[in-house]
Amino acid sequence: MRVAVYYNNNDIRIVTVSKPQVKHGEVLLKVMACGICGSDVMEWYRVRRAPLVLGHEVVGFITEVGEGVEKYKVGDRVFVSHHVPCNTCRFCLRGEHTACETLHKTNIDPGGFSEYARVPSINVDRGVFKLPEEVTFEEGVFTEPLACVLRSQRRLPVRVGDSVLVMGSGVSGILHIQIARLLGASRIISTDIHRFKLEAAERFGADEVIDAGKDVLKVLREMNHGRLADVVIVSTNAPSAIRQSFDCVEDAGRILFFAPAAPGFEAPLNLNDFWSRQLSLATSYAAAPSDLNDALELIRARRVNVKDMVTHRLSLCETPLGFRLVSEASDALKVVVEPQR
């Protein structure tokens, strides 16, 4: 079978390897679509483990079922979660599944940018979700990114009546806009440096957009009736946005750092100011099985528009182009690789 092997963002090689063999409790997935995530192009995070096959927004058909598998059959259309929790550690028992050590170690074999992938038994047990008939493969790739966004806003949380500033209008930022609206945000303003993404933010529900190259703080006050934002969601790793988030949030407000910063970056924090203003900071990593289930239901019910977020559909051989499009972060939103093409 063919796979796309990652060495760095500018070196993705299409090679032929043996198709994985399934064992007891496992299934073989024929990958029909896999989205390229912003985290896939974070070289500082990925290169240290290269070469490897990436891809974790994975959907397809089950083509083989190992002994002992009873919940799924050949032909089932499914989304597969690459990371799954143990469900028994102290983190899982407290509902903090994404802090589970098992979740950080599990994965599919070899990855989503391949024609076929072996799904280990632990993933089969708690990380395979049947796609409803109403959900296409293309829409199904959004299950994982939407679940991550949903979990993060629940942790924050976003409340009814909040004004929300979303810094960064890429795929995650636009999903944040849509989920914030569902959770009751009264006013949503989004920023970015690219006109293409600002226009996309407006199409997907932002009330106002701000060119991040301008005086964001000044424009925010003008747009928000003299006030700052109750909630600031930082969906970019741009140092300027991370630093600026503290200035853009109202007293007693909340800041969500959704995107990781580059290694070594340190944001200055005036602790006395932070204390007196009674600010709350939150981070969020990955998604739990319950988040994935909820995200898939939102997609099925058309409560979140993911279909129109796809800007590029590429064959497996075009995966290098996909990585360039996502890493350049200009005129692309969701880039989907279709390995069977």
CATH 3.90.180.10 domain position(s) in the chain: 2-144+287-338
Question: Among 250, 216, 207, 214, which Cα is nearest to 232's?
Answer: 250
Distance CA(321)–CA(316), nearest Å, equals 10
The number of C-alpha atoms within 13 Å of 254 and in the hemisphere containing its C-beta is 17
Is it true that domain 2-144+287-338 has CATH number 3.90.180.10?
yes
What pLDDT is attached to residue 330?
Answer: 79
Beta bridge partner(s), residue 107: none
What pLDDT is attached to residue 224?
Answer: 94
CATH architecture of 157-283: 3-Layer(aba) Sandwich (3.40)
What are the 10-residue block averages of pLDDT along the chain, 341 residues in total? 98 98 98 97 94 98 98 98 98 98 97 98 98 98 98 97 98 98 98 97 98 96 96 96 96 97 88 95 96 98 98 98 93 97 94
Could you tell me the pTM of the whole model?
0.97
CATH 3.40.50.720 domain position(s) in the chain: 157-283
What pLDDT is attached to residue 77?
Answer: 98
> For the chain, how long is the longest CA-to-CA vector?
64
Alpha-carbon dihedral 337, 335, 285, 71, rounded to 10 degrees = -40
What pLDDT is attached to residue 268?
Answer: 82
β pairing state of 249-257 and 280-283: parallel
